[in-house]
Every structure is written in C-alpha cells, then in structure tokens.
Amino acid sequence: MEYTKLGNSGTIVSRICIGTWHLPGSGSFKDGVETVDEQAFSRIFKRAYDRGINFFDTSNIYHGRVEHNEECIKCTGNSEKILGNIIKDYNRESLVIATKVRGPMADFVNGEGLSRKHIIWQIKESLKRLKTDYVDLYQIHWSDNNTPHKETMKTLNHLVDIDLVRYVGSSNVSASDVIDFMNIAEKNNYERFITMQEPYNILNRSIEESKFDVARSMNLGILAYEPLEQGILSGKYLKSNSGRVEYYKDLSKRINETSEKVLKLSEIARKLDVTMAQLAIAWILKRSIETGVSIIPILGITNEKYLDENLDALDVNINNNYMKMINDI
C-alpha cells in the first residue's frame, strides 16, 4: 500500500479510501430498502485492512443501500452503525475514520443543517453509531444557507477543542463558500478545512474548473468520490444494463451519453493490459501528480473480488502519451 498525508495535516492515510455509501446487498428488504449484507462488508473491510488500507469514509445520512428509497429517514445512520460494528474489533488508532453532517436526520425543525444545535447533536449521534470516542475527519456534507458560516466554523472548532473531532473538511461545497469558510477560520483562528470531498473521474472533471485552484491556493486535499462514475468506468454497462441502472433513470441517461467515450477508453485499457476500473483509478492518481493536488479516490466495494482488482491500480503507470489520448477522448 502507498500512503500520503490527509490533506495538509500530519496524519497519514492509505492512497485509497473505502467508502460506505453503497454496500453489499442482502437481497431482503425493510421499509422498501434493501438491507446490507454486513458479513460480506466485514470481509471486504478485513481484506482492505490486511492490504494496508486505513482510511474509511461514511456519513450520518448514508444507508448503505439506497436505490429503492433515497429519502428514507428511518434508514439514516445505517452505514455508520455497520461501520461501527466492524471497527470496534480493530485497533481504533490504526484507523482513520471520516464522516459528515448536514443532511436530514429527522423530519422536525432543526432535523438538518449546519447550525450549532444540529452539529453538536449529530456528532454525538455519529459517535454512538460508530462506537468510537472521536472521528478523525468531520466534513460538512454541503452548504446550509440558513446558517451563518461563522456559526458553523466556530462549532466545528469547538468539536476539535473538546477532542470529539481531529480535523474538519468540506464536501460538495461551492468554491466561493469554501473560500469564505477558510477566510473566517483564518480571521478567527478557528480550525481550517484540510480536505474537499468532490465527485471526480475521467468522465466528470468539472471540479478542475474552479476547485483545483482553491485546493492549491489553500493547501487542501481532494477526496474523489465516484471514481468509476457509478460503475460506468468499470465497463460493465458495455455488456449489460442490469444493476443500478434498473432503478436510476439518470444513470441510464448518463450511460447513453458516455457509451462512445467508454468504448474508446476500453481500447486504451486493453492496450495497457489493465481492467477499465484500474485505468480509471490509475488516471486519478496520475492527475494528482500532474496537477500538484493531493487526490485520494474513494472506492465503493460491494463485492470482495473487485477489491484486489481495484487496489492493483496502484501498480498501473499511465504514461504521458496515454494520458493525452484519454484527455482527447
């Protein structure tokens, strides 16, 4: 395993992070949502840990299986609970655990947001679900226009001061808001963000337009989720339209939009003698070198057999000629 710094901090994390937004399904359903095969994920976690992965990402709103009812309030916190059931059997200090706050956790007023009230309530709930005394990285999941940025940053700083949180970061926050949050932190000597979690892959490079500059200027690391673009960059939809596409209409549209590009990318993968997933992950790691921005891919693994394949992307070197070909595509 290769290791790198977590953003601009001194904490060291694996070059790959495991995410928990989408976990192995059990085939049975509760409240209209497929439940998670916790034993299968436990095996994935152990294999990842044994291969040197120490960085795991979750959120208080993640269900683990979301395809049939994305707004299921009853299911919130499920991924944290599942992760907590696993990490209690490991040396906590050997792990770096990230979670998030902002989304709807209850249907009453103050059931969501970035107010002091909501954040302090939810960090305590997240710690209960994760069965730990602290989280290593606490991220605001997206902006809250109802709460002054200073209130949010002051509250996050307080959580660091009382040792419930080690570091703070942002996720899906506009470049202008990130700058404002960081300026407030600088002015008031609050804890600053160390990371930005954003969607980033070969087919979705929109954050390069504005957020890369922010990351460079403010020394922030980027945690790249959806590195395989919801499975499109694994190449599996070139053969079949089964799986998530059956219940995500937007995914079906995206598959159609990108099919020609994916086919061309599959030819490059074939020439390099790698899988498409390995190509997609290796491309992100190469972009980190090219841009001078620390980028850590967050992988969602639902089948143990894909874990080793994806981690072997660390050994894939895409030369400059192939990077240009991918860029042209």
pLDDT in tens, 2-16: 999 999 999 999 999
Pick from 224, 253, 294: nearest CA to 11 = 294
Q: By percentage, how much of the chain surpasses pLDDT 70?
A: 95
Stretch 103-119: mean pLDDT: 96
Which band of pLDDT confidence, cut at 50, 70 and 90, is reported for residue 75?
Answer: confident
Residue-wise pLDDT for 243-277, tens only, equals: 555 556 678 889 999 999 999 999 999 999 999 99
Q: Look at residue 316 in the predicted model and tell me its pLDDT.
A: 97
Q: Which DSSP string do the residues of 104-136 spell out, in sequence order? A: -SSSSTTSSSSSHHHHHHHHHHHHHHHTSS-EE
Q: Look at residue 219 in the predicted model and tell me its pLDDT.
A: 96
Q: Which DSSP string do the residues of 298-323 spell out, in sequence order? A: EEE-SSHHHHHHHHGGGG----HHHH
Q: Look at residue 242 in the predicted model and tell me its pLDDT.
A: 57
Q: Look at residue 72 in the predicted model and tell me its pLDDT.
A: 72
Q: Look at residue 65 in the predicted model and tell me its pLDDT.
A: 78
Q: Name, in order, each residue with C-beta under 8 angstroms of 149's C-beta and a sequence gap of 6 or more.
A: 177, 180, 181, 184
pLDDT at 63 over 60: yes
Is residue 135 a contact partner of residue 98, using CB atoms and an 8 Å limit? yes
Residue reference for tokens 């710094």: 5
Q: Which DSSP string do the residues of 159-226 spell out, in sequence order? A: HHHTTSEEEEEEES--HHHHHHHHHHHHHHTPPPEEEEEEE-BTTB-GGGGTHHHHHHHTT-EEEEE-
Residue-wise pLDDT for 162-203, tens only, equals: 999 999 999 999 999 999 999 999 999 999 999 999 999 999
Stretch 285-291: mean pLDDT: 97
Residue 60 CA from chain centroid, whole number: 13
* Four-point Cα dihedral 168, 212, 57, 50, nearest 10: -120
Q: Which residue has the higher pLDDT, 73 or 314?
A: 314
Active site residues: 62
Stretch 44-56: mean pLDDT: 98
Q: Look at residue 66 in the predicted model and tell me its pLDDT.
A: 58
Q: Look at residue 238 in the predicted model and tell me its pLDDT.
A: 85
pLDDT at 107 over 70: yes
pLDDT at 33 over 80: no
Q: Look at residue 239 in the predicted model and tell me its pLDDT.
A: 77
Q: Look at residue 69 in the predicted model and tell me its pLDDT.
A: 54
Q: By percentage, how much of the chain surpasses pLDDT 90?
A: 88
Q: What is the Cα–Cα distance from 227 to 237, expressed in whole angstroms?
A: 16
CA atoms 39, 40, 43, 44: torsion sign: negative
Task: Kindly list the structural domains of the chain, giving each domain's residue range(s) and its CATH number in brackets, ordered by start.
Answer: 3-233+275-317 (3.20.20.100)
Q: Is 246 exposed, middle or buried (0-12, 13-18, 19+ CB in 10 A)?
A: exposed
pLDDT at 108 over 60: yes
pLDDT at 211 over 90: yes
Q: What is the Cα–Cα distance from 119 to 83, expressed in whole angstroms?
A: 20
Residue-wise pLDDT for 128-141, tens only, equals: 999 999 999 999 99
